[in-house]
Amino acid sequence: MANKLKTINERAELVYILVKNSEFHSDGQKYSILINELKEIINKNISVFTPPTTKSEKFDIPDFIKIDFLNKDFYRKLLNEFHLQDSREKARELQREIKEISNISSFEPANIINKIITESNRRIKKSKSKKKTSEIIRKMIKSLFLNYKDLKETTRPDTSKVQIITKSGKAYNANNLYLSSDYSSGKLTEDIFADVFPKNLFVASKKTLGLGKKNEFEVETFLTDFLNVNIHTKFKKDEYPEYDYEKFVFDSVNKPNNYSESSINITKIENTDIIFDKISFEKLLLWILKDNYIFKQIDNRFNDDSFTYKKAREWYFHHSLDSKPSYIKYQIITKSPYIFSELFVNNEKLSFINELKIDYKHPLFEKYDVSEEEINNLLLELGAKENFEDFSIERISKIITELKGKDPKGKNAQNIYKLAFEHYKKNKIELNLNENTFLFSKKGNELDYFPNEEIYYTDNITLPKKIINQHPILNFPKRVGESQVSKFFGIKTFKDYHIEIKNAELNKKLTAEINEYITEIKPYLLTIRLSKITADKQKQINRESNSIKNLEIKICHSINCTIEDSEIELEDFDFIKSENKF
């Protein structure tokens, strides 16, 4: 009978009759009575939707999907027949009216797209041919692409199960994949991750996807915005991350007073196990610098993570940390194989102490216009140091221990020692050197590395050359605090040397003349010494005053003495100190 109806009005009237008379559908009977845009009767077993409400009023369906749309004129006639023309939700109201006699649904793009995806995946699963699988995917992708362009912006269907072809030729879920170099934004991605990810994680070219003639920008936007293909990084939102992250935060910022418990919402990077296992140092830095979201998350002040907390005896998380390291920063610093806190930057002369050699001239840095300043600023944000005194004492001890291998000629040894000593003056923490540590020192005329247990330091040489030349003397400036240098480096001084003068032939005339001169200039000497006093003033004033007051010099023709059980005769211009006499 449905085939004999000549007009749309007659068909609409028949539908009304079938619906309003329950005997026609009391047993669940459906009818092939609805028609599509071509005025063809739609089989009762096919899913029918009210006309599309997209921008173009069209909706593309792959040929293997059994879906059809109600004829627009017929739809309007049905609305009139059921007095729904003034209804706010015409399509849904009509669907409720005629669902008893037909397999109809109101047009909702998300539902139709889900049906396309589900049916495509069912066919992919059953397919035994790679060629057939690719054909199914291309038809699905083409349909989704055309519909995506036509959808209203508020329509966001679930596309997490969409499978697309990868560079390996196999199909995987789009939201687990990355743009390849076949797309503008994917060129950087593949430059960074070509040696990290397998080919089956990179999306195939638009030609392979069946979109070869489509606009490149539109295809890329469709892939990333609609199918959630990742550009450079796959992110995931999470809450309540592992306790180690909270500990990491409070290693960076002060824990609030009376802190009790936290509520944390973060964004994390997925696939870090694969990435950090294979990515090179330069590519890691390039990735962080060029992925805008990662770079934003590196900043303690402006990252998107939320860290709220409550204090003791509070019920709610009233408080928040305004400045804190993000979870992504935590991942990079603690999970990557590179120890950023051991890097010394902005000092090219001493860059040799770094375990990691930073190639500022790496081709990818030049290709993507990354400057040395940008790299160093990033490294500082990740924990590198530009001031030596900011290193941990463990790091400084390691630098000094490894200096013999990294600077065998000792060209930079004294500079390193001075920087390390400044750390000691600021932090008052001594070095922790291994037993087999060698320090750059001078023994006689020889400059070389010697075992630290053999090394001495003296503020001012007060021993004969014969004795001094028997021991390596640390290559370090004089008059910086003998006891402090000795304590910091764990080396010896000559203060404990026992000196006994056996015989001295005094030159009375020269001794009298020089001491007369010394007496005249003592006020000036005292003035000079007092001008250098900076702390514990009264103590130092008393000490310096007594030292200058009791100063005496004896000039001898010859001196014989014993030093540490060795009897020696002093050479010309040697001098020794006995109490306050030289």
Domain extent listing, the chain = 2-107, 127-226, 235-381, 391-489, 499-569
Count of other CB atoms within 10 angstroms of residue 334: 10
Task: Give residues with Cβ within 8 angstroms of 272, minimum separation 6.
Answer: 331, 335
* The amino acid at 512: A
Q: How far apart are CA 292 and CA 448, in angstroms?
A: 50
Both tokens of 524, joined, read 């000036």
Q: How far apart are CA 167 and CA 187, in angstroms?
A: 14
Predicted TM-score (pTM) of this structure: 0.81
Q: How far apart are CA 450 and CA 444, in angstroms?
A: 13
Both tokens of 240, joined, read 């309540």
Both tokens of 34, joined, read 């609805």
pLDDT attached to residue 526: 85
CA angle 234, 224, 68 (to 5 degrees): 130
Both tokens of 509, joined, read 């005339």
Q: Is 564 left (phi over 0), alpha (psi -120 to 50) or beta?
A: left
Q: How far apart are CA 453 and CA 52, in angstroms?
A: 88
> What is the three-class DSSP state of 552?
strand
Secondary structure (DSSP) of 489-517: HT-B-STT--EEEEEEEE-HHHHHHHHHH
Q: Is 369 left (phi over 0), alpha (psi -120 to 50) or beta?
A: left
Q: How far apart are CA 410 and CA 446, in angstroms?
A: 12
Q: Which of 266, 206, 222 is nearest to 240 (CA)?
A: 266
Strand partners, 563: 499, 566
Encode burial over 376-404: b for 16+ CB neighbours within 10 A, e otherwise: bebbebbbbbeebeebeeebbbbbbbebb
Q: Which of 386, 481, 383 is nearest to 428 (CA)?
A: 481
Q: How far apart are CA 357 and CA 458, in angstroms?
A: 36
Q: Which of 137, 289, 294 is nearest to 227 (CA)?
A: 137
Ordered mean pLDDT values, 10 residues apiece, the chain (582 residues): 75 89 83 90 91 82 91 93 90 91 88 91 92 94 90 75 94 96 96 96 96 94 95 95 93 94 95 96 98 97 95 92 96 96 90 91 97 96 93 93 94 94 89 89 92 86 74 88 88 79 89 91 86 72 83 88 80 75 67
Strand partners, 67: 47
State the DSSP code for 151: S
Largest CA-CA distance found in the chain, in angstroms, rounded: 147
| End-to-end alpha carbon distance in the chain | 133
Distances (CA, A) of 81 to 1, 50, 382: 19, 15, 70
Q: Which residue has the tokens 């004492």?
A: 393
Q: Which residue has the tokens 């999306």?
A: 203
Question: 47-49 and 67-69: which strand pairing?
Answer: parallel
Distance of CA 512 to the CA centre of its chain: 73
Q: How far apart are CA 353 and CA 368, in angstroms?
A: 28
pLDDT attached to residue 279: 96
pLDDT attached to residue 462: 63
